[in-house]
Amino acid sequence: MSDYSAFKVELTDHIAHVQINRPEKINAMNAAFWREIIDIFQWIEDTDEVRVVVLSGAGKHFSSGIDLMMLASIANELGKDVGRNARLLRRKILQMQASFSVVDRCSKPVLAAVQGYCIGGAIDLISACDMRYAADDALFSIREIDMGMAADVGTLQRLPRLIGDGMMREMAYTGRNVKADEALRIGLVNRTFADLPQLLDGVFEIAREIAAKSPIAISGSKRMIGYMRDHSVDDGLEYVATWNAAMLQSADLKLAMVAHMGKQKPVFDN
Amino acid sequence: MSDYSAFKVELTDHIAHVQINRPEKINAMNAAFWREIIDIFQWIEDTDEVRVVVLSGAGKHFSSGIDLMMLASIANELGKDVGRNARLLRRKILQMQASFSVVDRCSKPVLAAVQGYCIGGAIDLISACDMRYAADDALFSIREIDMGMAADVGTLQRLPRLIGDGMMREMAYTGRNVKADEALRIGLVNRTFADLPQLLDGVFEIAREIAAKSPIAISGSKRMIGYMRDHSVDDGLEYVATWNAAMLQSADLKLAMVAHMGKQKPVFDN
Amino acid sequence: MSDYSAFKVELTDHIAHVQINRPEKINAMNAAFWREIIDIFQWIEDTDEVRVVVLSGAGKHFSSGIDLMMLASIANELGKDVGRNARLLRRKILQMQASFSVVDRCSKPVLAAVQGYCIGGAIDLISACDMRYAADDALFSIREIDMGMAADVGTLQRLPRLIGDGMMREMAYTGRNVKADEALRIGLVNRTFADLPQLLDGVFEIAREIAAKSPIAISGSKRMIGYMRDHSVDDGLEYVATWNAAMLQSADLKLAMVAHMGKQKPVFDN
Amino acid sequence: MSDYSAFKVELTDHIAHVQINRPEKINAMNAAFWREIIDIFQWIEDTDEVRVVVLSGAGKHFSSGIDLMMLASIANELGKDVGRNARLLRRKILQMQASFSVVDRCSKPVLAAVQGYCIGGAIDLISACDMRYAADDALFSIREIDMGMAADVGTLQRLPRLIGDGMMREMAYTGRNVKADEALRIGLVNRTFADLPQLLDGVFEIAREIAAKSPIAISGSKRMIGYMRDHSVDDGLEYVATWNAAMLQSADLKLAMVAHMGKQKPVFDN
Amino acid sequence: MSDYSAFKVELTDHIAHVQINRPEKINAMNAAFWREIIDIFQWIEDTDEVRVVVLSGAGKHFSSGIDLMMLASIANELGKDVGRNARLLRRKILQMQASFSVVDRCSKPVLAAVQGYCIGGAIDLISACDMRYAADDALFSIREIDMGMAADVGTLQRLPRLIGDGMMREMAYTGRNVKADEALRIGLVNRTFADLPQLLDGVFEIAREIAAKSPIAISGSKRMIGYMRDHSVDDGLEYVATWNAAMLQSADLKLAMVAHMGKQKPVFDN
Amino acid sequence: MSDYSAFKVELTDHIAHVQINRPEKINAMNAAFWREIIDIFQWIEDTDEVRVVVLSGAGKHFSSGIDLMMLASIANELGKDVGRNARLLRRKILQMQASFSVVDRCSKPVLAAVQGYCIGGAIDLISACDMRYAADDALFSIREIDMGMAADVGTLQRLPRLIGDGMMREMAYTGRNVKADEALRIGLVNRTFADLPQLLDGVFEIAREIAAKSPIAISGSKRMIGYMRDHSVDDGLEYVATWNAAMLQSADLKLAMVAHMGKQKPVFDN
């Protein structure tokens, strides 16, 4: 793996472990973070050996969100003309969004493991993941409202697809803390674990299960589910028919059948 | 505030309290109701001092829904030609829908506080609010089915975005009563309270919290979440980037930053 | 009723009971199944006497999904050219999807009663129903992933509208078993019952309630809710206004009013 | 008709003639214009006697677009905070758009008759009409680009549905003048006439033809075509089936049939 | 070919010639017509030997549209209850629409050759074809408006995608006759020919050209263009990438390449 | 400017002239072409000095489309498993599409000047431009159909938005040559010129006009028109109101006003 300053990345047994690695700064998202995450997910996309991704934060907390120093440096670029400032800000926001859209568009499942603070930009990030799991001490908050702004890196766009509309609005308007058990109840996380070691154990076990499936079938399933966020049922049906017109000709189907008949576990190529 | 016959409206500390005020009629929605609610929300929209709205019902019940006298008077306008009757009915329904769409489109959060009966048209109304809270004695029912008709003032359109599809259909086909605790479980309300006084206390506390935030940030957050009901994630991302291109140039952002650094509570302009 | 080889169909008191009837094969979906279900639902559509449908499986299990013999016979039709094979497979998938879309599009509510295995294609099927109820021994699994393929007969298209995105993905990527109580918690089923007899009792009671309502109002409500899966709130409001412009001129409305005034139960025509 | 300061409105033989009536100001659109047009089209909507609308400009020109005095007065309302200014401007633009959306949504056909200048806001206006006809001296220009702004009252939204994409962009980016014959070639107008009297004669003849048709059939046709701008073919087919389910029960259908058989001209109610 | 009463169908050199064959009734569309067209296009879909379809009318005219006897027989089925009548009419309209949607959805190009009258339902029909060609004596009219109804079998849904909005509305509101040369100018037909024999010669020549192309490439091109009527550019790009992921593995690509290199005409399998 | 192997790029007076520069290969699109075009348009986006782009081809022809050597090299990467080949091909197609989407998304107008051959991939390319102009010897052809494939780099997605549906299909199914005058008639190009020098003169004159406008207003107009390809009129109206809420606070508006009053030509900042 390349050298990253904001992340630590490891690949073992088809699982890429992507760790935000600035624990001394509560994993605040600095300029390097926003840049490196794009490279990391490009590598994940291009590396057939990677079949599933676990995203976690080093230290006691998942992440405190965007680094305020970075916001300050953007503010410094602003000039006098409101129109040209708007043009600049729009570009910057679109760029930052792109850093999380690579997570969303990744053709391989991304599992977020959350302990401690998961605040502001960190909510934007986990909203772009496939599934979310939490340790009991996890604490979620859409903190942007307290910075005098509407969240603009994905929370307000993706979270309403994950949790109910009523709780979505309460979280967005009040910025209040949501603990692990409430997060579970409202569907923000799939499961909770007693502490960080158990959380990582549990998430890696799910990751291993997924890594053992046909990568062709996994990426197809992921694209189809993602597609349904924004398309009609009829569109989705036609799309999967077209998709599987090619994919059902893959060797994986036969391989799985044979294994199934022989009551054995199939082993799939990347 | 103006004089209303079906409502009582008060404004204190940036919170507009809009009360349906026909307790002797179980707050049934008469002709005045449908007309006045438009004026009230136009006033709310135009009055920057209002930052959040609490909607409740005077007396023992939230509301028993549309006043049957009003339905009868519409029936009286019908003539002989089915086509022209259809034209008339379509116009009337669109007009009534408009009365609740002003609640939905209001740029300020609307919190519904529900006790006792919340039936028929009352479900249409709370479906157009941002969040819903209930006293333990609350009772919800899509009663239109028992009037021999499909609900047509918003319930069938907005409620499926709030609760799961399966329970949505059960409620719509059977018209059965749903109590406060079940309403909480299915996501129809965010929280329940022991009785009406505690309900109002609780809802006003949330309202005060919201009123203390930047109104620019609140209205942005509300529009973005509302937008996501009907748009793709990519559309939403582009829209918030364009929105914030202007709004991040507001003084509220700096004010919040400075307050944050100084560990103080910021005070925002209307 | 006609003679079906994969189903047993009965009509009593406006309720059509459609039973998958191959218990010795765990109700696996063979070629006859896919063909006959279209005829059955065409008959349901054309028969005004049918007002509601209960779908269940004979024997200990609801269904183990698609019959593997059928998949094998499709594989046998494939030739050498990848393009022409893709054309063939696409047609076959679209045909199978059509078999479940008739359930989805049926203008009368379809209630699924699930006991034992509900696996693979069976999930596709119940996702196309209006409501789902389960016995405590029910067991749900998106088993397609273990066959090396993405589910392509509706699960990945309709289930994301029924349960939360996070659990949807976990089920689709891991294929893990979900039991009745978890199915209830995530909204996959509306209610659970201790065993099969109680399940059928409970579901038929709900069916009877629905059958007693105005069929005009029921089909209107169903179409409106279905419409909202894929349309904006504004589109939905206009559509129901146009729909009710005709339907509010039906005698059912008056009949219901009169019954309501006289505190009697109305009796509606088919 | 009421007294209007910016318009002259006449109703003869089911045709409402709406004339912009500030010829001394080249029919520039002042504050009264934007307000009164809403009242006029509300009256048109509510008056069943009106079956078709002709929109024209008094004097030598159709209209020179928005009155610059009005823009200046909006500029005067702006304060210091960019965010609050944005909120104010957004509201103002939405309000002005609403003035032309009433034309677009009018359930009766609106025919624009254009002579001389048709510039800036005047293009926004005619884009919201059903059909456009021009005298040979007509001259069209998207002049907003020369005011340093993107047109925001409908031209950029509706005109791309009327003319080809390539010419749309050339007109929007260059603001160049398009004469009557080119307007005809690119589909901006349906027909050209030698001069103003012939133009009005021709347009009123078409208007009379339309006024003689069934108003039920005309408003249905208009809504269906408008609907197709923003919906899929399948959506449109379902919508017209639902619409006509009521409207085919109108007496107009039988009346037209009988007249057709008897080779006579039918006379329809309003 | 089967025996049809309203059509004559021939297959020569991969071209299916589908002729409406009731010249003595000006090819009016009777009950048999609506039923048989579904069977014919099912046969076309299932018969790989058919690669392109020519649709024409026997005798002097293409078709005068729906047979009024058929309308009368539907009217006879109506009862007393407006709601149940609406249910019946909605079903009938949806059924008739389905008869033309099979033309639209046919995976092989359909070329309409039009002489003489092309009126009412005939416009609905040719709007569902891929391309339209006309003899100089052709005459097009949306005649439904003169029957007191909005066209509901596809004209108002598909024609706005084919011709400009302004002319679309003029044709729909006035029902006026449009001759061949005007039809060419507004894009309703692709080319005109002096008379019927030359028309058929010309259309069959184009059909032969298309029949000589790779059927895999033709059906892909047709689906992609059809898809773009109702989807965004981004959706379309993703869809064609998924489609071609299978189809570019077809032998036709290599065959075409080799032929191209050898400057020969490739011969493709069905 | 950087050194490009497939292009020549010049910037004069705010106009970037991007020339495909492989005249000896009829400007066939090789691997370098697809890579470099992304860099060039990133530079255009980042360089505020560039306000408008002219895209042309060096030599006698605009471009003969994709380089067949490049297709062959992709074919060489294919393996044995149909599923994994599909995954690879899908990625490659999406990558090539991305090369033309940068042209489409460029915030500055792109004018294509076409002489001689404009074939296959070249049609995909000019479909992504804002406007198209042609010399009289220009010749357009969707040649992919003769390669046994459906065009997959944008022609089938963007061209239907530019020309009528009927001609679109004829061009796509037959691959026939369309000359400059026919291209003008069907709206594929905006204007034709006698020869290449006059073409470039004419296009650069239009480019200069555009470059003299406010860049803020130009990029707003472009985004709004692009947005309307895929959104409803109501969505578009709201979007431009939000966009202009910021942009009307730009100095360009005042500057243009003052110039207009003083009858002078305004000079705008980049």
pLDDT tens digits, one per residue of A190-202: 999 999 999 999 9
Q: Which residue of E has its CA nearest to D108?
A: E173
Mutate to test the interface with E, among D188, D228, D231 (most CBs of E within 10 A): D228
Mean pLDDT of C8-35: 97
- Test E244 with F165 for CB contact under 8 angstroms: no
DSSP string, E198-233: HHHHHHHHHHHHHHTS-HHHHHHHHHHHHHHTSS-H
Please tell me which residue, A72 or A124, carries the higher pLDDT value. Answer: A124
- Test E83 with C247 for CB contact under 8 angstroms: yes
How does pLDDT run across C147-194, given as a tens digit for each residue?
Answer: 999 999 999 999 999 999 999 999 999 999 999 999 999 999 999 999
Residue B2: the pLDDT is 64
Which residues of B are known catalytic residues? 66, 121, 124, 144, 152
**Is pLDDT at A47 greater than 70 in this prediction?**
yes
Residue E222: the pLDDT is 98
**Is pLDDT at B121 greater than 70 in this prediction?**
yes
- Test A68 with B257 for CB contact under 8 angstroms: yes
- Test B86 with D247 for CB contact under 8 angstroms: yes
Mean pLDDT of D76-103: 96
Mutate to test the interface with E, among A216, A219, A242 (most CBs of E within 10 A): A242
- Test A168 with B225 for CB contact under 8 angstroms: yes
**Pairing mode, strands E139-141 and E117-119:** parallel
Chain C residues contacting A, CB < 8 Å? 68, 71, 78, 82, 85-87, 89-90, 93-94, 97, 101, 104, 144-152, 154, 156-158, 160-161, 164-170, 172-176, 186, 229-230
pLDDT band at residue A261 using 50, 70 and 90 as cut-offs: confident
Nearest CB to C249 within list B82, B145, B229: B82
Q: How far is A82 from chain F (nearest CA, A)?
A: 5
- Test B210 with A174 for CB contact under 8 angstroms: yes
Q: How far is B239 from chain F (nearest CA, A)?
A: 7
Nearest CB to A216 within list F87, F251, F269: F87
Residue B173: the pLDDT is 98
How does pLDDT run across B191-205, given as a tens digit for each residue?
Answer: 999 999 999 999 999
How does pLDDT run across C197-212, given as a tens digit for each residue?
Answer: 999 999 999 999 999 9
Residue D68: the pLDDT is 87
Nearest CB to F162 within list D90, D165, D172: D165
Placement of tokens 């309290």 in the chain: B17
How does pLDDT run across F222-265, given as a tens digit for each residue?
Answer: 999 999 999 999 999 999 999 999 999 999 999 998 998 899 99
pLDDT band at residue A15 using 50, 70 and 90 as cut-offs: very high
Mean pLDDT of E152-172: 97
Please pick, among F121, F154, F202, F220, the residue that the annotation labels catalytic.
F121
Q: How far is F41 from chain A (nearest CA, A)?
A: 15
Q: Which fold has domain D215-261?
A: Lyase 2-enoyl-coa Hydratase; Chain  A, domain 2 (1.10.12)
- Test E249 with A246 for CB contact under 8 angstroms: yes
Chain D residues contacting C, CB < 8 Å? 231, 235, 239, 242-243, 245-246, 249
Nearest CB to C83 within list E81, E82, E249: E249
Residue E71: the pLDDT is 87
Residue F152 is among the residues annotated as catalytic for this protein: yes
Please pick, among F26, F44, F66, F210, the residue that the annotation labels catalytic.
F66
Three-state secondary structure call for residue A230: coil
Residue F2: the pLDDT is 63
Nearest CB to B147 within list C224, C232, C256: C256
- Test C251 with E83 for CB contact under 8 angstroms: yes
What's the CATH number for D7-211?
Answer: 3.90.226.10
- Test F83 with A219 for CB contact under 8 angstroms: no
How does pLDDT run across D243-253, given as a tens digit for each residue?
Answer: 999 999 999 99
Q: How far is B21 from chain A (nearest CA, A)?
A: 25
Residues of A in contact with F87 (CB under 8 A): 216, 219
Residues of A in contact with E242 (CB under 8 A): 239, 242-243, 246
Q: How far is F253 from chain E (nearest CA, A)?
A: 33
Chains with 3+ CB–CB pairs under 8 A to E are A, C, D, F
How does pLDDT run across C220-230, given as a tens digit for each residue?
Answer: 999 999 999 99
Residues of C in contact with E252 (CB under 8 A): 83
Q: Worst-scoring range by mean pLDDT, C71-80, D182-191, E126-135?
A: C71-80
How does pLDDT run across A57-81, given as a tens digit for each residue?
Answer: 999 999 999 998 898 889 899 999 9
**Is pLDDT at A2 greater than 70 in this prediction?**
no
How does pLDDT run across B209-249, given as a tens digit for each residue?
Answer: 999 999 999 999 999 999 999 999 999 999 999 999 999 99
Mean pLDDT of D149-166: 97
Q: State the count of interchain CB pairs (< 8 A) between A and E.
A: 15
Q: How far is A84 from chain C (nearest CA, A)?
A: 34
Query: Other CB atoms closer than 10 Å to residue A200's CB: what's the count?
Result: 18
DSSP string, chain D: ----SSEEEEEETTEEEEEE--GGGTT-B-HHHHHHHHHHHHHHHH-TT--EEEEEESSS-SB--B-HHHHHHHHHH--S-HHHHHHHHHHHHHHHHHHHHHHHH-SS-EEEEE-SEEETHHHHHHHTSSEEEEETT-EEE-GGGGGTS---SSHHHHGGGTS-HHHHHHHHHH---EEHHHHHHTTSSSEEESSHHHHHHHHHHHHHHHHTS-HHHHHHHHHHHHHHTSS-HHHHHHHHHHHHHHHTTSHHHHHHHHHHHTT-------
Q: Show contacts of F254-263: CB within 8 Å, 24+ apart.
A: F254/D148, F255/D148, F255/F214, F256/D146, F256/D147, F256/D148, F256/D149, F256/F214, F257/D68, F257/D71, F257/D147, F257/D148, F260/D146, F260/D147
Residues of D in contact with C239 (CB under 8 A): 239, 242
Please pick, among A144, A206, A210, A218, the residue that the annotation labels catalytic.
A144
Residue D121 is among the residues annotated as catalytic for this protein: yes
- Test B190 with A175 for CB contact under 8 angstroms: no
What are the backbone dihedrals phi and psi of residue D87, each rounded to the nearest 5 degrees, phi first? -60, -45
Three-state secondary structure call for residue A233: helix
- Test F216 with A249 for CB contact under 8 angstroms: no
* Domain parsing of chain B, residue ranges: 7-211, 215-261
Residue F3: the pLDDT is 85
Residue F1: the pLDDT is 56
Residue B20: the pLDDT is 98
pLDDT band at residue D72 using 50, 70 and 90 as cut-offs: confident
Q: Which residue of B has its CA nearest to A229?
A: B232
Please pick, among D136, D152, D170, D252, the residue that the annotation labels catalytic.
D152
Residues of C in contact with A242 (CB under 8 A): 90
- Test A251 with F86 for CB contact under 8 angstroms: no
**Is pLDDT at C2 greater than 90 in this prediction?**
no
Q: Which residues contact C263 (CB under 8 A, 6 or more apart)?
A: none
Residues of A in contact with F83 (CB under 8 A): 216, 246-247, 249-252
Residue A1: the pLDDT is 56
Residue A145 near residue B253, CB atoms below 8 Å = no
Nearest CB to F242 within list B231, B243, B249: B243
Mutate to test the interface with B, among F229, F230, F231, F243 (most CBs of B within 10 A): F243
**Is pLDDT at C72 greater than 90 in this prediction?**
no
Residue D206 is among the residues annotated as catalytic for this protein: no
Q: How far is B255 from chain D (nearest CA, A)?
A: 12
- Test F247 with A86 for CB contact under 8 angstroms: yes
Residue C90 near residue C84, CB atoms below 8 Å = no
- In chain D, what is the greatest distance between 2 CA atoms, to the nearest angstrom? 73
Q: How far is D48 from chain B (nearest CA, A)?
A: 10
Q: Which residue of B has its CA nearest to F240?
A: B242
Residues of C in contact with A210 (CB under 8 A): 173-174
